[in-house]
Amino acid sequence: MAEDIDDLLEEVESKFLTKDNKKTKSKSNRKEKRDNDYDIDDILDDIQVEPIAKGSVPSAPNGTATDLRPASGRKCFPVYIGGALCSQGMASSVNQRSCDKLRCTSCDFKVCSFDNYEWHPDTDYLFLRNNAPDYHRLKTNLVPKRGSRSYCCQCCLRSVQEMTKLADPRLKWVCGKH
């Protein structure tokens, strides 16, 4: 089959190229490319990828833990948000936890949370749009309040103190998989 393709390409080149040296050069280039493809395939077959063991967390070169865990595909149901004293993680109907992987479907940003702060009443959409998710820029509108947790994306914000089911239709936040 490869020879048939080479013959067809030679026929096309002979009609469009006038110099004989171009024909021989292009034929040898095709042959080299075909040989190199097999070499690359052999190299890729030799590479062995070891899967990450379940429960292990990869670490950065300096030994600190990173958040490079692959998403398991499981989502919180129902989705809860809670104050600073509420535990975070994946929620279920049995375990009520505030979701720490929230994502906004309206602005498509990760939802940030800040423990022991609440939002200043004058905080508006434009402020969030220009400053989220940078904590150092957002802290000008964060008021310290013990036990409270403030949440925001680039279009919405919320401050809560107790575990609350996420049912407000104005918040387009969903669990982004754990």
Tens of pLDDT, residues 78-100: 999 999 999 999 999 899 999 99
First to last CA, the chain: 49
Instruction: Say which residue, 20 or 97, is predicted with more confidence.
Output: 97
Instruction: Say which residue, 101 or 63, is predicted with more confidence.
Output: 101
pLDDT at 55: 45
Mean pLDDT, residues 6-17 taken together: 77
Q: Which two tokens stand for residue 169?
A: 């239709």
Q: At what angle do helices 20-46 and 2-16 cross, to 10 degrees?
A: 150
Which amino acid would we find at residue 82? Answer: G
pLDDT at 152: 97
Instruction: Say which residue, 178 or 71, is predicted with more confidence.
Output: 178
